[in-house]
Chain A
Amino acid sequence: MIPIGPQLQALYRSPDSASHMYYLHDKMCCTIADFDQTGGLNEYSDVLHGTDLIGACQDGCINENGIVLMFSIDRAQLYTKKLSSCWIYIWILLNLSPTECYKKNRVFIGGFIPGPNNPKNLDSFLFPGLQHLVGLQKEGLQIWDVALQHKVNSKVFLALITTDGPGMKHITGMVGYHGKHGCCLYCGMQGCRENHGKHYFLVLLKPLDYNVSGCTHDDIDVTNLPIPLHRRYHKNMCIVISLSNNSQYRTCRLETGISKPSIFSGLDTSSTLGLPHSAGSDIMHLAALNLTDLMISL
């Protein structure tokens, strides 16, 4: 684990990179002004154009000196022909402009979980890094800003958590994409399963002659999908935690789609967007996976 705090402090040590750190705040002011005037935006070209971050700024969760981060984790296979998988997570600094923040010298490597076996308890490996983050969120990060020539106390805000489909299951503590509530955004849509199958699939249209217990809901209207809600996720998670025996837990897990509390739920609610909102969609895996599915059926 490499702590993120000192890495952030280093960025404020030269006038050039320190001034870049205020990109988010400057742009956000313009965006909020636009948003208030027209009630919406015409163009979306950065994370800060999303209503979630705008809301967080308006609520005062992100202030002028605030640092906004994105967490990204994935499993990596280092050699194609050798068992060599490991997990890596990085921090991306959203304070910088989109042309800067994804560059090699501005991507902070957070931690590295060596393999070749999969970590049994991923949370335990994430814990040191996140504990450090919580410390920064609670007490603030003291930074000497060279550009302004004074000390600033910055609050670190964790905006987004991104990973691929299977990784999301570990992060959000949900049952994963083959569960009955398979949507990683927790939209509440229920899936159907084959007669003797264990996997659920999120079909919109109910199959004909279909009578599998627990899946007999009607067709789902695509234009009217439920909105993912933090409140529902949180409430259901509390129920799952409070259960005392195993069979109750299993039924509840099936009904709520939550298998365990996420380690990210431990973060201060005013310094993160909160699950499942902060779960990012990963267009890279989406596009690639989607395609294989279609290709193979072709």
Chain B
Amino acid sequence: MPDNKSTWDWAVLRGDVWQQYGKAVVAALHYLPSSFDCPPCNIAEKLTSGYKAWEFLLYLYGLGLGLLYGILPERFFLNYCKLVLGIRLMNQHRITEANVREAHLVLLSFAHEFETIYCQCKQTRIHFVCPCMHSLVHLPCKVLRIGPPICSSQWTLEQTIGNLGKEIKQHSNLFANLSQRRIRRTCVNALMAIIPDIEGNQKSGGDIPQGSKDLQDRYVLLCTRDKHLERLQECKVYALERFLSMSNMDSVSVCRWARLRILTSQICYSAWKEWQKPLEKHCTACNVKVCHLFLLAVFFMPIITTPLDTF
């Protein structure tokens, strides 16, 4: 007896709902931090043609949770949440032992439940259980054996293929060309390893962009900044007073900076400049996490703390 698709109660993304859904994915674009590389495009249009692994990742384990809530029937949604939790834990660069345990439980439970609610022990549906479902179950144990999966993933190779592919200059004879490119890359890398100074000069200038201010510890303030001192609003003066444990600062004028590069090389933007642009033109990067608190960066300014006795 063939499987009838109308009995698939989880198949909710059809017709109009699917189109709407694709639009929602695109609309979410402007709320993603700019450090997230390219944001997912319309999944309804591009699913079968060149949707990238990174987009899938971002979409399924990032956006999907919010977008599918309310659309997917509850028990399927809960099952999906388990997958998201498991994969998010496994994709971390640092995985604690507690994480491994949790991911192990949650992924096992996901795999089991997946078969119960989707396949329902029907012979015609066993093909839902694709090979990757099984690999998923092994994932947490592998962390104990060979470290985080991200360390042994294919990203590096794909990246190498990508940047070698871009170097192809002779499209009529591409395999020979690629082969030569590869040899040249190897020679250059070896040379750079032997004489690191070859690339040195270029790098020292490029590390800190012009007009920026180095704050040490790999924090760098980046342009744009105020040319003249700007007077702060009262509420901000109050915040500053509390931060510096001072009182009665009447009027304060500061030079605001728009962007800050932090030690992870990510660049935070500030709301001051970002909000001047229309939403379509930027990706949101002014939400920052400081000591487990999520904050909105309004602007940046350097504060030089001078020991009191010098006054």
Binary B-proximity of A7-35 (CB < 8 A = 1, otherwise 0): 10011011011000000000000000000
The 8 Å CB contact of B193, one of A2, A10, A208, A290, is A10
Interface membership of B20, Cβ < 8 A: no
Q: Are A74 and B158 in contact (CB under 8 A)?
A: yes
Q: Are B147 and A293 in contact (CB under 8 A)?
A: no
CB distance from B68 to the nearest CB of A (A): 9
Give Cα distance in the complex from A162 to B100, angstroms: 21
Interface membership of A49, Cβ < 8 A: yes
Closest chain B residue to A114 by CB distance?
B175
Give Cα distance in the complex from A225 to B190, angstroms: 45
Number of A residues near B (Cβ < 8 Å) is 100
Q: Are B147 and A10 in contact (CB under 8 A)?
A: no
Give the chain A neighbours of B8 by CB distance below 8 A: 297
Give the chain B neighbours of A42 by CB distance below 8 A: 96-97
Give the chain A neighbours of B80 by CB distance below 8 A: 294
Interface membership of A243, Cβ < 8 A: no
Give the chain A neighbours of B143 by CB distance below 8 A: 44, 50
Interface membership of A210, Cβ < 8 A: yes
Give Cα distance in the complex from A45 to B94, angstroms: 4
Classify chain B: how many residues form its interface, as a range: 35 or more
Give Cα distance in the complex from A13 to B196, angstroms: 10
Give the chain B neighbours of A40 by CB distance below 8 A: 97
Q: Are A98 and B123 in contact (CB under 8 A)?
A: no
Closest chain A residue to B61 by CB distance?
A287
Give the chain B neighbours of A281 by CB distance below 8 A: 135, 138-139, 142, 149, 152
Which 9 residue pairs spanning A and B have beta carbons closest together? A114-B175, A177-B131, A280-B152, A10-B190, A283-B149, A50-B146, A47-B147, A202-B134, A45-B94
- A10-B191, A165-B135, A194-B126 known; 5 other A-B pairs, CB under 8 Å? A17-B196, A44-B94, A45-B94, A50-B146, A297-B10
Residue ranges of A at the interface with B (Cβ–Cβ < 8 Å): 2, 6-7, 10-11, 13-14, 16-17, 40-53, 70, 72-74, 76, 78, 80, 84, 86, 88-90, 92, 98, 102, 104-109, 112, 114-115, 159-160, 162-165, 177-178, 182-185, 187, 189, 192-195, 197, 199, 201-210, 222-223, 225, 228, 277, 280-295, 297-298
